[in-house]
Amino acid sequence: MATNVSAHEHHYHPPGLQHQFEDMGQQQESASIGMWMFLAQEIMFFGGLFTAYLVFRAKFPMAFAAGSNHLDIYWGTGNTVVLIVSSLTMALAVHYAQLGKRMAQVLCIILTMILGATFLGVKAVEYTAKYNEGIVPVTGLNRRTPAGEAQAPVETAGEHKTGATEHAYHNPKGEFQWTDASLAKKAEDAGYLTSAEKAGYYANGVLDANKFRDKVRIFYWIYFAMTGLHALHMIVGLGLMAWLLWKAWLGTYTADYYSPVEMSGLYWHFVDIVWIFLFPLLYLLGRHFGGGH
């Protein structure tokens, strides 16, 4: 007697296909739409920070130039190269996932993770330097040194360029330290200070170093907010890479099922692109005024 087998039992179910989708194409399209919607709200999130930067920089360009010039352009450039290369290795990981080459996937994901960790290591070096120099904008988060304690001198912004005398670092409360207002003075002598800057930097018609310092502090607030949130996104990306690495090692991703690698790649590229905008805005704009590293 012939056995009557239902059509459902003969239906092929591709590996990785979730039960709520009819086929792999529908699942891939749904994942892509979801990721692009997520990235759209991330763009709006970072867009608010970019807007704040542009508004304050337009109002106080010399203060922002002074803060920018004190950032280490070599570390910033190196990190830019690191992230560009990491985008290449991430793209290759997606490519090899589409081809079903397991070990090539694993190698590219490992390289991407190494480059991402390198980026975070460089940011840690930069943040440590800001802590030691006393230019973290939050009072109490800078290196504290009792006034009576002898310390090795620390360069103030621009001193190593101008040849100004070094001074001992005394900061018992961990306050924001900034004493160099020379860039504002140069701008005044050249006659290109804006009316907003004259009101923001001067008191009773005289350049006030403390008022200038407060405007530089705004730059560092934005710098730490933007780069800190970017670093947080990079940490999340490394978490995704660790999960992908485990799955790739198990041989989960094949030519038929590679959507998680592709979607994680979109996220990684987004984080890289954000830095491509951050680097010139924070490290390069205003460097032509001089006083940079």
For every residue of 143-190, DSSP letters joined together read PPB-TTS----BPPTTHHHHTPPPB---BTT--------HHHHHHHHH
Confidence of residue 185 (pLDDT cuts 50, 70, 90): confident
239, burial (CB in 10 Å: exposed 0-12, middle 13-18, buried 19+): exposed
pLDDT on residue 57: 92
**Is residue 14 in some structural domain?**
no
What phi and psi, each to the nearest 5 degrees, are found at residue 207? Answer: -60, 120
On the question of pLDDT at 144 being above 60, the answer is yes
pLDDT at 168: 60
Lowest mean pLDDT: which of 18-27, 149-158, 206-215?
149-158
Task: Report the pLDDT value the prediction gives residue 180, as an integer from 0 to 100.
Answer: 81
pLDDT tens-digit readout, 92-126? 999 999 898 999 999 999 999 999 999 999 999 99
pLDDT band at 5 (very low <50, low <70, confident <90, very high): very low
Q: Count how many domains the chain has.
A: 1
15, part of any domain: no
The pLDDT tens digits of the residues spanning 274-288 come to 999 999 999 998 776
Q: What band does 27 get if pLDDT is binned at 50, 70 and 90?
A: low
Q: Is residue 251 part of a domain?
A: yes
With cut-offs at 50, 70 and 90, classify the pLDDT of residue 181: confident
Highest-scoring range by mean pLDDT, 55-64, 171-180, 204-213, 232-241: 232-241
Handedness of CA 217, 220, 226, 231 (dihedral sign): negative
CA 147 to chain centroid, in Å, comes to 35
pLDDT band at residue 188 using 50, 70 and 90 as cut-offs: confident
Q: Which domain holds residue 42?
A: 25-288
In tens, the pLDDT along 214-269 reads 899 999 999 999 999 999 999 999 999 999 999 999 988 888 788 889 989 999 99
Instruction: State whether the Cα torsion 216-217-218-219 is positive or negative.
Output: positive
> Which of 66-70, 154-158, 238-242 has the weakest average pLDDT?
154-158
On whether residue 3 sits in a domain, the answer given is: no
* DSSP per residue, 17-70: --TT-SSHHHHHHHHHHHHHHHHHHHHHHHHHHHHHHHHHHHH-HHHHHHHHHT
Q: Given this model, what pLDDT does residue 20 score?
A: 56
What pLDDT is recorded for position 150?
Answer: 45
SS3 state at 3? coil
Q: Which amino acid is at 176?
A: F
CATH number of 167's domain: 1.20.120.80
For residue 167, is it within any domain? yes
pLDDT tens readout for residues 38-64? 888 888 889 999 999 999 998 988 889
Query: Residue 172 falls within a domain, yes or no?
Result: yes
Q: Is residue 10 part of a domain?
A: no
Q: Identify the band that residue 145 occupies on the pLDDT scale cut at 50, 70 and 90.
A: confident
Would residue 49 count as lying in a domain?
yes
Let me know: does 145 contact 173? Beta carbons within 8 Å.
Answer: no
